[in-house]
Amino acid sequence: MILHLSVFGLVSFAGKTTEISMNSYKEDQQFIKAAIDQANIALENGDVPIGAVIVHQNKIIAKGYNQRHKLNDPTAHAEIIAITAAAEYIGNWRLHGCTIYVTLEPCPMCAGALVLARIDRLVYGCDDPKAGAVKSLYNIVQDTRLNHRLEVTNGILADECSAILTDFFKKKRNSTDNDF
């Protein structure tokens, strides 16, 4: 049930390939770029550069970036911060009608939070082979045993999202401050 984007503007959904509109793809790119801007804030703060934005009615209503090191809080992931801000903005913990855009495939904690927040759609940049809970290791957001499932589109600006993380960890490995 994950939508896999190809270079031809096609998506695979439940084994069927269909064409997506160029407007939808361009909107996804626009909002992933906004998530990348959030990731760059995390980078400037010395945290793992992951960013997220939540969109409702084609408008960004919440933003988040990783702040685990800044806040000394293991739950301060970009998605969690954005979900909290979106719930405050809407005035309800149920985020129906919302799409979250994230630079990296969500971890198990964040994937669970997306389900609990009843977000309709997840769009993310690059896969996370070590902790991904949407495609790589698990598929929490589409688990039929849960009471809510999300539509998923992955691979939007994947190379750009991946490069930010690769560069960050390469620099960390080469520095004396490598407590990640």
Distance separating alpha carbons of residues 138 and 28, to the nearest angstrom: 23
Q: From 101, 145, 139, 95, select the one nearest 120 (Cα to Cα).
A: 95
Tokens representing residue 82 in the block: 């954005």
Strand order in the sheet with 121-126: 16-19, 10-13, 2-5, 151-154, 121-126, 98-104, 51-56, 59-65
Positions annotated as catalytic residues are 79
